[in-house]
Amino acid sequence: MLTVADIMTQMVQTIDRTATVTDAIVQMRIHGLRSLIVNRISLDMPYGIVTERDIVYKVFARQMNPNRVRVQDVMRQPCIAVEPTLSLHSVAQMFSETGIQRAPVIHDGELLGVISVTDLVMRAELDAPLSPSFA
């Protein structure tokens, strides 16, 4: 059985909560990402996440200046996180039930990676036969 650890993205980009939304946008563009994990301010605090959707809905839709809005004002914290040993089926169910599209992978408080619906689809694509089916 495949687990989150088998397919997660290990190269994770993080950002500080005090950075501006413009900083987040620039970092997303440079790295071709749709989200960033927001660093914790202490070990007992949860990680956060800021996504393209957060920026569009909470900044652009409200005509706010992204140079003046901080990541902490639009991020989700605590964000739903998953363990690396979780099955892919369980992650798919969680994504379906919560409506989220990605989650940090955390074990013993350490950020290991990110799992997304894209990771699940790409893995399913690799595991499934690629011949088209026509009716």
Task: Provide the whole-model pTM.
Answer: 0.84
Residue 50 phi/psi, 5° resolution? -125, 130
Residue type, 63: Q
Burial class (CB in 10 A: 0-12, 13-18, 19+), 5: middle
So what's the pLDDT on residue 52? 96
So what's the pLDDT on residue 126? 52
Residue 103 phi/psi, 5° resolution? -150, 145
Highest CATH level, class, for 4-126 = alpha beta
Least Cα distance to 86 among 119, 42, 51 occurs for 119
So what's the pLDDT on residue 98? 94
Q: For 48-82, what is each residue's pLDDT tens digit?
A: 999 999 999 999 999 999 999 999 999 998 889 99
Domains of the chain, residue spans: 4-126
So what's the pLDDT on residue 39? 93
For residue 38, count other CB atoms closer than 10 A to its CB. Answer: 26
Residue 37 phi/psi, 5° resolution? -85, 135
Q: For 76-109, what is each residue's pLDDT tens digit?
A: 988 899 999 999 999 999 999 999 999 999 999 8
Task: Calculate what percentage of the chain has a pLDDT beyond 90.
Answer: 79
So what's the pLDDT on residue 127? 59
> Is the distance from CB of 24 to CB of 15 less than 8 angstroms?
yes
Greater model confidence, 29 or 11? 29
Q: What number of H helices and E strands is found in the chain?
A: 6, 5
Is the predicted pLDDT of residue 125 greater than 70, yes or no? no
| Ranges of H-type helices in the chain | 4-7, 21-31, 52-55, 71-74, 88-98, 117-127
